[in-house]
Chain A
Amino acid sequence: MTKLLEAPTTNRQPRQGRGTGPRGTAPTGSGRRPLAAAFGLLTSPKYGPVTVTGLLFVAIFVIGGFRYRGFFSGQVFLNLFVDNAYLIVLAVGMTFVILTGGIDLSVGAVVALSGMIAASLLQTGWSPGVVIPIILVLTSVLGLLVGLMVHVFKVQPFIATLAAMFLARGLCYVISQSSISITDPTFVQLAVSRIPLGAGLSITPSVIIALVVVALAVWVLHGTRFGRTVYAIGGGEQSGLLMGLPVARTKVLVYVISGFCSGLAGVLFTFYTLSGYPLTAIGTELDAIAAVVIGGTLLTGGYGFVLGSVLGVLVLGVIQTILTFEGTLSSWWTKIFIGALLLVFIILQKVLTARRR
Chain B
Amino acid sequence: MTHPLADSMESTVTQQTEPAVPAPVPVVEMRGISIGFPGVKALDGVDFRMFPGEVHSLMGENGAGKSTLIKALTGVYGIDAGTITLAGERVSFAGPAQAQAAGISTVYQEVNLLPNLSVAENIMLGREPRRFGGIDWRAMRRRSAELLAGLHLDIDPGSLLGDHSLAVQQLVAIARAIDVNAKVLILDEPTSSLDADEVAELFRVIRSLKDQGVAILFVSHFLDQVYEICDRLTVLRNGTLVGEYLVDELLRIDLVQKMIGKELTALDDLEHRAHASVVDESDAATFVSASKLGRRGAIEPADLPIAVGEVVGLAGLLGSGRTELARLFGGIDRADTGELTIHGENVKLRTPRQAISKRIAFSSENRRDEGIVGELTVRDNIVLALQADRGWFRPIPKKKQDELAQSYIQALNIRPGNPDALVRNLSGGNQQKVLLARWLAIAPRLLILDEPTRGIDIGAKAEIQKLVFNLAENGMSVLFISAELEEVLRLSHRVVVLRDRNVVADLENDGLTVDSLLALIADGRVASDDEALDERAPAVAVVAVGSGDGPAASAPSTPSTEGDRS
A interface residues (Cβ-Cβ under 8 A, vs B): 1-19, 22, 25-27, 44-46, 219, 222-225, 228-229, 231-232, 234-236, 238-246, 302-303, 357
Contacts and interface: CB of A to CB of B under 8 A. Distances in A.
Contacts of B130: 225
Contacts of B115: 235-236, 302
A193 B165 CA distance: 56
A17 B97 contact: no
Contacts, number: 180
Nearest to B124: A228
B221 interface: yes
Interface range for B: 35 or more
Q: Chain A CB within 10 Å — which of B76, B164, B523 has the most? A: B164
B241 interface: no
A234 B117 CA distance: 10
Contact of A12 (B128, B134, B197): B197
Contacts of B484: 1-5
B135 A8 contact: no
A248 to B, nearest CB: 10
Contacts of B318: 5-6
Interface in B418-439: none
The main secondary structure of chain B at its interface with chain A is loop
A241 B95 contact: yes
Q: Chain A CB within 10 Å — which of B100, B106, B483 has the most? A: B483
B560 A228 contact: no
B96 A17 contact: no
B97 A13 contact: no
Nearest to B158: A26
Contacts of A225: 126, 128, 130, 135
A303 B162 CA distance: 12
A1 B222 contact: yes
B97 A244 contact: yes
Given A8-B560, A45-B116, A232-B117, A17 B164 contact: yes
B270 interface: no
B135 A302 contact: no
Nearest to B154: A15
Nearest to A19: B163
A325 to B, nearest CB: 39
Contact of A18 (B116, B165, B192, B221): B165
B160 interface: yes
Contacts of B560: 8, 11-14
Nearest to A238: B112
Contacts of A10: 522-523, 556
A5 B485 contact: yes
B91 to A, nearest CB: 15
Given A11-B560, A14-B560, A17-B155, A5 B114 contact: no
B89 to A, nearest CB: 19
8 contacts: A6-B195, A7-B195, A22-B559, A27-B163, A231-B117, A232-B125, A242-B112, A245-B125
B198 interface: yes
B165 A17 contact: yes
Interface in B177-191: 191
Nearest to A357: B566
B114 A11 contact: no
B194 A6 contact: yes
A244 B96 contact: yes
Contacts of A246: 97
A121 B130 CA distance: 43
Contacts of B38: none
B193 interface: yes
B416 to A, nearest CB: 24
A8 B522 contact: yes
A6 to B, nearest CB: 4
Contacts of B116: 45-46, 231, 234-235, 302-303
Nearest to B151: A15
Given A16-B165, A26-B159, A223-B134, A7 B97 contact: no
B155 A18 contact: no
Interface in B288-329: 315-318
A4 B96 contact: no
Nearest to A301: B116
B264 interface: no
